[in-house]
Amino acid sequence: MAQRRIPEATFPLDALPVALLEHLSLSPHRMVSLVKKFDGNVIKPRKTRILSPSLTGRDKEEYQ
């Protein structure tokens, strides 16, 4: 993690269960297989989330 400059708190590999580690390790393979199967049709999202803005104190002062 330190080699890639990813903070341990962001991605705690030591604390993740094996099932989740397997899921993460196979993610690139799943992405490649989706791209290979692409037939020109648009892939519809499974879920859509609307995130509310969260401004910092400094942002609030600057933009409001």
| 35 belongs to a structural domain | yes
Q: What angle do CA 11, 13, 18 make, to 5 degrees?
A: 130
Residues 6 or more apart whose CB falls under 8 angstroms from that of 51 comprise none
| Domain count along the chain | 1
| 2 belongs to a structural domain | no
| 21 belongs to a structural domain | yes
Confidence of residue 64 (pLDDT cuts 50, 70, 90): low
Q: What sign has the CA pseudo-torsion 58, 55, 13, 25?
A: negative
The answer, yes or no, to whether residue 52 has pLDDT greater than 80, is no
Tell me, yes or no, if the pTM score tops 0.75. Answer: no
Contact 21, 15 (CB under 8 A): no
The pLDDT value given to residue 1: 63
Residue of higher predicted confidence among 3 and 44: 44
DSSP reduced 3-state for 30: helix
The pLDDT value given to residue 35: 83
The boundaries of the domain holding residue 57 are: 8-62
pLDDT in tens, 17-42: 899 888 888 999 988 888 888 777 77
